[in-house]
Structure 1
């Protein structure tokens, strides 16, 4: 039985990387540290490494509750420490009395430095306090080159990981029925939109499934998928319960409040 059949075709290339990481940790007798992975990628790594007795995987992204984490694959006899994950925390100092900085602006400014998204973790914001978690190997580069966000001049201040902002996200579960598992149908139902409004959002690249942009309205959603719509929030397709007598799908979605 092929390991690939359990995953979507677009995830096969990532699976190849995971298998390479596993081989490295197994045959080099040393840990293999990855870039930051989104929760879906972490799930794939966990399912592939799974119950392996030779190679173990742990994840860390600065705190237990953050979404994006680095994976450390290591031989079973190795004992990892926090330093092994090579993570740094910066707080953004900016004139908050005069300007407002939001998550998309921080993300855009970091991406404009020419870095891959996988080189930094969560962007945390609480009121006027903003922090970014980055890979240690690019920390000095970011420190030298990230000097403004939008029109605001900023300064990065390195903080100990113990000072990380704690953001608790609350979720609410809802049950509903849908005519199909198409992305446009699920988005419309989950966010109380019409199909005619949901479809343009998808076509415009404003919808992500499992942290990856999806622009096909007919994309088939699966149980466990995390769906986010820019400007509307996000939801998780937690359960597909089956068909009703009227041939509709009964599902449960969990929405962030």
Structure 2
């Protein structure tokens, strides 16, 4: 595997540095006949890495994020079982069993000086949250993560009978758009004017299938994942007949 070819087509200094690190860990696992790991990767980086590995015909790898269907995953190079991945499952709870928004949990963790790559998915359940984290920071989080949104919380290793099966909850909303152009869909997604949606897109706040998309006329397809910073994330369903006025009907499955 050639490093220059592996890094070709990767834009941005941070992303190129990440993939350079990943390449070095792949080579380390090959030369030392040991297992090496990546940090938690975003869905976009995971997709790109799998494309790179496929084009290089590299098959000795696996990925896991703590449960089947996890969005943020760690990649392992070399023979590795799920129990060998360096991650832990943490339970974050309050005395009155209240829960908060995803950004509240993540913001409190990042405010402790922890890098985003150390944290995997955060699942918010009915009376507590489950956070997947790098094993190296588990003890630190148990000691230092004491508040979420000004509420006192307890952070502990979760080893109970709870078994998250990867099923997510969604709020499904049907909307009507003039076309499946990105600007039209974002306008409906955010319930804002086209002028607002255009600004969100050009400012780099819109992500289609986890990649920043600034093309206003980009066509949205069935099952595309749309994320708009400040407005949430959802799956766009488009396979519906036209309305009587020849408009497009879509269903937005907003992540809860």
- Structure 1 position 256 matched with structure 2 position 253: yes
Residue number in structure 1 paired with 2:244:
none
Q: Structure 2: which 5+ runs fail to align?
A: 240-247
TM-score, normalised to structure 1, is 0.72
Q: CA deviation at 1:92?
A: 1.2
Residue number in structure 1 paired with 2:96:
96
* Structure 1 pair 256–237 and aligned structure 2 pair: CA distance change class (3 A): closer
1:12-41 deviation line (CA, Å, top 9, x unaligned): 444433322322222222111111112221
Structure number with higher strand proportion: 1
* Structure 1 pair 81–120 and aligned structure 2 pair: CA distance change class (3 A): same
| Structure 1: distance between partners of 2:231 and 2:215 | 18
- Structure 1 position 18 matched with structure 2 position 22: yes
Say whether the 8 Å CA contact 1:199–1:217 is kept in structure 2: no
* Structure 1 pair 234–86 and aligned structure 2 pair: CA distance change class (3 A): same
| Structure 2: distance between partners of 1:64 and 1:22 | 23
- Structure 1 position 36 matched with structure 2 position 40: yes
Say whether the 8 Å CA contact 2:225–2:235 is kept in structure 1: yes
* Structure 1 pair 231–122 and aligned structure 2 pair: CA distance change class (3 A): same
| Structure 1: distance between partners of 2:160 and 2:217 | 39
* Structure 1 pair 203–215 and aligned structure 2 pair: CA distance change class (3 A): farther
| Structure 2: distance between partners of 1:234 and 1:147 | 30
| Structure 1: distance between partners of 2:58 and 2:204 | 41
Could you tell which deviates more after superposition, 48-57 or 135-144? 48-57
- For the residue of structure 2 that corresponds to 1:9, the secondary structure is coil
| Structure 2: distance between partners of 1:228 and 1:82 | 29
Say whether the 8 Å CA contact 2:198–2:216 is kept in structure 1: no
Q: CA RMSD in A?
A: 4.0
Q: CA deviation at 1:144?
A: 1.1
TM-score, normalised to structure 2, is 0.72
Residue number in structure 2 paired with 1:68:
72
- For the residue of structure 2 that corresponds to 1:92, the secondary structure is strand
| Structure 1: distance between partners of 2:224 and 2:5 | 22
Residue number in structure 1 paired with 2:242:
none
1:219-244 deviation line (CA, Å, top 9, x unaligned): 968989743023353236999xxxxx
Say whether the 8 Å CA contact 2:99–2:126 is kept in structure 1: no
- For the residue of structure 1 that corresponds to 2:66, the secondary structure is coil
